[in-house]
Every structure is written in C-alpha cells, then in structure tokens.
Amino acid sequence: DAGVIQSPRHEVTEMGQEVTLRCKPISGHDYLFWYRQTMMRGLELLIYFNNNVPIDDSGMPEDRFSAKMPNASFSTLKIQPSEPRDSAVYFCASTPRTRNNEQFFGPGTRLTVL
C-alpha cells in the first residue's frame, strides 16, 4: 500500500495568500485526521472525519481554517488568509475502524508563511 500521501511537501507563501494542503488517505480507512505540529504547541489535532463527515473540528484555530473531505480518497485543509503564525508542519493521518485507533501518518507539509 502507498501509505498516506500529502502534497505539497513544502509550501512557502506570503501573508494574506490562500494555502491549500492536500491529503490522500490509505484506501479503506474510515477516519481521517489533520494535525498541526509546532515547537511551541507540539502536535495538535485540528479536525477529524469519519466516512467523509467532520466529527470534531474543535481544534481548528480560527475561521481562516477550513477542511473538507469530498470523497473517501481526498481531503483538503485550507487557510485563507494565511498569517506568519500559521507556519508549521501539517500532518494528515488515517485509520480504519478495525485498528483500535492506530493512526497512519503522512510525511507532512512544511508551511512557511512570510
């Protein structure tokens, strides 16, 4: 299996621009998670989906952040407008219901907002 795929791997943008991060979960996995990792705050859960439906978005920091999962094989995390404090590594992870919440992480997208 290919594992969780994230794109782009690196993104550099200027403050105020829209940023879209993409994720393809492992086929057959029911749950998809978006995390943000920073030195100051560690690994934070932003939102997670079950069968393409958002279940808990309480970790989304502001209205500038939005996430969608239009189908079982694709999800996006969008930041509009971006700010320098959004600079972080964003991870996508997925898991099937049968694995007791063992999560499979993608390689991450390193976002730098200038």
The tokens for 5 are 């795929």
Query: Residue 26, CB half-sphere, CA atoms under 13 Å: how many?
Result: 18
Question: Among 87, 86, 89, which residue's Cα sits nearest to residue 108?
Answer: 89
Q: Is 97 helix (H, G, I), strand (E, B) or coil?
A: helix
75 binds other proteins (CB under 8 A): no
Binding other proteins (rule: CB under 8 A), the pick from 1, 63, 71, 100 is 100
Binding-site string for other proteins from residue 24 to residue 43, where x marks contact by CB under 8 A and - marks none: -------x-x--------xx
- Residue nearer to other proteins on the CB measure, 48 or 65: 48
Beta strand 53-56 with 31-38 is unpaired
Rounded Cα–Cα distance for residues 114 and 104 (Å)? 30
Site for other proteins in 40-69 (CB under 8 A): 42-43, 45, 48, 50, 55-56
Number of chain residues interacting with other proteins (CB under 8 A)? 22
- What residues line the site for other proteins (CB under 8 A)? 4, 31, 33, 42-43, 45, 48, 50, 55-56, 91, 93, 95, 100-108
